Every structure is written in structure tokens, then in C-alpha cells.
């Protein structure tokens, strides 16, 4: 275990863990997260664009596609659709730039980080509808499905897996693969690790997930496969790369998905990091374990996706013009 990991876990126990023991305060959590986030600089040779809201037909409740593009100058030949975590009720593309910037530069892939609608204002299926709309928009703009990878962490990891399942069920072309970091895949909260790792996890107490799940669920049952993809049929899904920490309360949400996916014939890589915190890749570039996780993720992206030789001209025409400072 690196010194950086020890320091980060110590800080999480002091500052983040106590917040999870309090009643859920959506506004406070959002404000604290935006205040504390560290923003990495835009990598040299890349540009950060704001994708303004592009709402589909159907009015205020229709899917919304907005977010951030990190694009290599001239355009990369692969694309990652990233879905941030935050319990479906907080965080944003901005808070997860440490991951998306690290993935982009290592995998040589442009990244679209989706700013999907959040609960409780927008419960299920709003986030899933937005993710599906974002993926289909990439296809409509000319990206071959084989050149795409879906990625996400925590709630966003569960959302990424649910998006894969929904795309398969709808008959859409599937991406080359998916990266799932500490995914929250069971909103029924039945994993044994929720109890067994309560007190060991430096970031979350065990009962917090049941308390926040209701905000996203609304009237939907917790075992619905598009809400909790642990309960989905995994046959026909593309390769998956999963990681989680050994002391996470959500550890079983990763282990059970890996087991069920392998049983369904899906190619699975699953890494369990000893004593590492929830979504530790977000601590790059400070933590060596985070850098290694992003290196392994980039290798996976290149392995499962195909280069799109038409990407540069197509992306230059489709990108928004507003850059982010």
C-alpha cells in the first residue's frame, strides 16, 4: 500500500465518511462536492469543449444530451462515453475530470463525459434515457460502435452496465467493451460486503446506499435490471473490465457481476485492489495505484475497440465550438 493511499484513506475517514452517516442533504452534498473537487489542467495537445444541452423531441421530460468533450487535437480514433458516479444525485463531468483526462491521454481516445439528469428531481429512467440518447447520438454522428467504449464509476458504473443491457435488448449495435469502476449494480443492497465491510470502508458506512437508492428508484422496484443490472441477463454483452477495493462496502456489487457475466460467456477482467478506496482511479495523478489502474484501463480500451480511420474529419464537423477554460 502506497503512502499516498494511506493518506487519502485517512482523509476520507475524517471528511467524507462522517457525511454518509448523516441524513441525506442533497443541496449540501452537491455544494461540498463542487467546493472540494480538484481540477486537473487540460492536457497539452487536447481541448475541452462544452456540449450544450441537446434535448430530444418530447418536451421537458425527453432525454438530454449535454456534457464535456475532451478531444485530442485533430481527433482520436476511439471514443469513450463516460458516466460519472455520485449516487445518481450529485457530481458532474467536472468532478470526474481526473479520471476522464487520464483515460483519454492513456488510451488515445476522445472522451464525452455525460452530464445526465440527477435524482431526486429526475428519478429513473431519466439517467438511463440520457445515457442511451448520448450513445445513439455518437452512432448517428458516424462513430462505428466498435470504436466506442462505455465507462463509468460507482452509480455511473451501474448505469454504464444498465445501458449495455438496454442497448442489447433494443437491438442496437454494442460498443467494443465497458469499464466499470466500483460499480453500484444492486440498489436492493443485498451484498454481504455492505455489512462485512462496514467499518472497514474508509468512504461509506454500510446503510447509506439503502437511504439514497430511493431517490433514484422512485416507483421502480430495486431489482429491475435497468436499475440494478446485477439482476440482468448478461448474454451477448461485450468484454467488461471491472475493479473495486477489497474493503469497499460495494465490493460484492463487482464480484457478483463478474461471476454472473463469466457464467453467461462474457469476457471479464476483474481487479480487486487491496485496501484501496472507492473509485481509486479518481486519485490520479497523486496515487500510484490510480495511475496503474488507468494504464490497465487504457490497455483494455485499445484491446477491445477498433480504430475509426474516419474519426478526425467527422469529429471536427460535429464538435461544439465553445471551449472550456
Which of 92, 121, 114 is closest to 31 using CA atoms?
92
pLDDT per residue as tens digits for the range 151-169: 999 999 999 999 999 999 9
- What pLDDT shows up at residue 104? 97
Task: Check residue 34 and give its pLDDT.
Answer: 85
**Looking at residue 37, what is its pLDDT?**
85
| C-alpha dihedral, 93 to 49 to 103 to 169, nearest 10° | 70
- In terms of pLDDT, which residue wins out, 52 or 121? 121
Long-range contacts, 204-210 (Cβ 8 Å, 24+): 204/17, 204/20, 204/248, 204/249, 204/250, 204/278, 205/17, 205/20, 205/21, 205/249, 206/249, 208/20, 208/21, 209/87, 209/184, 209/249, 209/250
Catalytic residues: 154, 248, 278
**pLDDT in the model for residue 309:** 77
Q: Is the pLDDT of residue 194 over 80?
A: yes
Q: How confident is the model at residue 203 (pLDDT cuts 50, 70, 90)?
A: very high
User: How confident is residue 74, by pLDDT bands cut at 50, 70 and 90?
Assistant: confident
Instruction: Quote the percentage of the chain above a pLDDT of 90.
Output: 86
Residue 294, pLDDT > 90, answer yes
Query: Which pLDDT band, with edges at 50, 70 and 90, does 316 fall under?
Result: low
Delimit the domains of the chain by residue range.
Answer: 3-318
Question: Does the pLDDT value for residue 71 go beyond 60?
Answer: yes
User: Taking Cα atoms as reference points, which of 271, 254, 264, 267 lies closest to residue 232?
Assistant: 264
Q: What is the mean pLDDT of the chain?
A: 93
**Cα separation of 322 and 324, whole Å?**
7
pLDDT tens track for 83-103: 999 999 999 999 999 999 999
Q: What is the pLDDT of residue 317?
A: 63
Topology of domain 3-318, CATH = Rossmann fold (3.40.50)
Task: Look at residue 53 in the predicted model and tell me its pLDDT.
Answer: 72
Other CB atoms within a 10 A radius of the CB of residue 21 amount to: 10
| 193 or 50, greater pLDDT | 193
- C-alpha to C-alpha distance for 38 and 165, rounded to whole angstroms: 33
The number of CA neighbours under 13 Å toward the Cβ of 257 is 36
User: For the segment 207-255, what is each residue's pLDDT rounded down to a tens digit?
Assistant: 999 999 999 999 999 999 999 999 999 999 999 999 999 999 999 999 9
The vertex-160 CA angle with 5 and 26, nearest 5°, equals: 70
Q: What pLDDT does residue 138 have?
A: 95
Cell of 113: 463525459
Please state, for a pLDDT cut of 70, what percent of the chain lies above it.
Answer: 94
pLDDT for res 56: 57
DSSP 20-48: HTSPP-HHHHHHHHHHH---PPPPTTEEE
Amino acid at each position: 500500500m502506497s503512502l499516498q493511499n494511506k493518506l487519502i484513506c485517512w482523509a476520507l475517514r475524517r471528511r467524507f465518511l462522517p457525511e454518509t452517516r448523516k441524513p441525506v442533504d442533497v443541496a449540501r452534498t452537491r455544494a461540498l462536492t463542487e467546493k472540494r473537487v480538484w481540477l486537473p489542467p487540460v492536457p497539452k495537445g487536447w481541448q475541452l469543449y462544452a456540449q450544450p444541452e441537446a434535448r430530444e423531441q418530447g418536451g421537458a421530460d425527453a432525454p438530454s444530451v449535454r456534457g464535456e468533450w475532451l478531444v485530442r487535437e485533430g481527433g482520436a480514433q476511439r471514443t469513450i462515453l463516460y458516466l460519472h458516479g455520485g449516487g445518481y444525485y450529485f457530481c458532474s463531468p467536472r468532478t470526474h475530470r481526473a479520471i476522464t483526462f487520464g483515460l483519454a491521454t492513456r488510451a488515445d481516445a476522445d472522451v464525452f463525459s455525460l452530464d445526465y439528469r440527477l435524482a431526486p428531481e429526475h428519478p429513473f429512467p431519466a439517467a438511463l434515457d440520457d445515457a442511451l440518447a448520448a450513445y445513439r447520438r455518437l452512432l448517428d454522428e458516424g462513430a462505428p460502435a466498435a470504436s466506442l467504449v462505455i465507462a463509468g464509476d460507482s452509480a455511473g458504473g451501474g448505469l454504464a452496465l444498465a445501458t449495455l443491457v438496454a442497448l442489447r435488448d433494443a437491438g442496437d449495435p454494442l460498443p467494443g467493451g465497458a469499464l466499470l469502476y466500483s460499480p453500484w449494480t444492486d440498489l436492493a443492497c443485498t451484498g454481504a460486503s455492505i455489512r462485512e465491510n462496514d467499518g472497514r470502508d474508509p468512504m461509506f458506512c454500510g446503510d447509506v446506499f439503502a437511504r439514497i437508492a430511493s431517490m433514484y428508484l422512485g416507483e421502480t422496484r430495486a431489482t429491475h435490471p435497468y436499475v440494478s443490472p446485477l439482476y440482468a441477463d448478461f448474454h451477448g454483452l461485450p468484454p467488461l473490465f471491472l475493479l473495486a477495493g477489497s474493503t469497499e462496502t460495494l465490493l460484492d456489487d463487482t464480484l457478483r457481476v463478474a461471476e454472473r457475466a463469466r457464467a453467461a460467456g462474457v469476457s471479464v477482467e476483474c481487479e480487486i485492489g487491496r485496501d484501496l478506496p472507492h473509485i481509486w482511479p479518481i486519485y490520479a495523478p497523486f496515487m500510484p495505484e490510480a495511475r496503474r489502474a488507468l494504464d490497465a484501463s487504457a490497455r483494455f480500451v485499445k484491446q477491445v475497440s477498433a480504430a475509426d480511420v474516419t474519426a478526425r474529419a467527422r469529429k471536427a464537423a460535429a464538435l461544439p465550438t465553445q471551449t472550456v477554460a
